[in-house]
Amino acid sequence: MKKLSPSMLSADFGELNSQIEIIERAGAQYLHIDVMDGVFVPNISFGAPVYKCIRKNSGLVFDVHLMITEPIRYIEDFVKAGADIVNFHVEAAEDPGKTIEKIRSFGVKAGITIKPNTPVSAVEKYLDKVDLVLVMTVEPGFGGQKLIPECLKKITELKKIREERGLSYEIEVDGGVGLGNLREVMESGSDVIVAGSAGFGADDIEKTVREMLDIIREYD
């Protein structure tokens, strides 16, 4: 089943619990949680204590995207705070294989991410070990950017590899996806769509989430 993962980074933190209730009511399956350290990316967001506070009030799958240097150091903290999926950047890990093993040792799903300039070949040897591959279609660190069309080729490539090798990882897409280009992104082979500005940043969050899900379900 195809899924929508609205990004908490675009939420109003003064209304966080109520906005999460809205996307859950609208049918979103995941909550995308961007963790930035100001080192790997030029911005700082929030850490495990923030989403630990909302974990008890939400039944959504917590899709935690670590944009931090040497993520292996903090995996246990994020799992204890309530992560269901821990997703890290191949570019940020000294040993991606050990990082995947550490994530899976806690009984949660492991994801690996590539930036726009990183080729699929950088993660190919890990594809049989992960549950999810996240393709960044903007430079990580800031919301509101336009999707880089060339990145969609990587989604198609990952789908082809998955079929050829009989693997089962999901392909997630993050960056500049909205109602205007959602069908194009889905047709490239995406399974999970991260909605940043197009999700929590919409004037009518519930209506927009429902409209995005209607399109996503056309590809189930």
Give which of 169, 132, 135 is closest to 154, Cα–Cα. 135
Q: Is 125 helix (H, G, I), strand (E, B) or coil?
A: helix
Pair 2, 192: CB distance under 8 Å: yes
Secondary structure of the chain: what % helix, strand, coil (to 5)? 45, 20, 35
**Catalytic status, residue 63:** no
Q: Which one from 37, 63, 174, 191 is the annotated catalytic residue? A: 174
Task: Provide the total of helices (H) and of strands (E) in the chain, helices listed first.
Answer: 7, 8
Q: Which one from 12, 34, 63, 204 is the annotated catalytic residue? A: 34
Helix (H), strand (E) at residue 157: helix 152-165
Q: Is 57 helix (H, G, I), strand (E, B) or coil?
A: coil
Pair 110, 103: CB distance under 8 Å: yes
Distance CA 33, CA 30 (A): 9
**Catalytic status, residue 34:** yes
| Cβ-Cβ contacts under 8 Å for 96 (sequence gap 6 or more) | 88, 90, 112, 123, 126
Q: 17-46: string of b/e by CB count within 10 Å (b at 16+)?
A: eebbebbbebbbbbbbbbbbbeebbeeebe
What are the distances in angstroms from CA 130 to CA 38, 92, 140? 26, 16, 21
Point out the residues that are catalytic. 34, 174
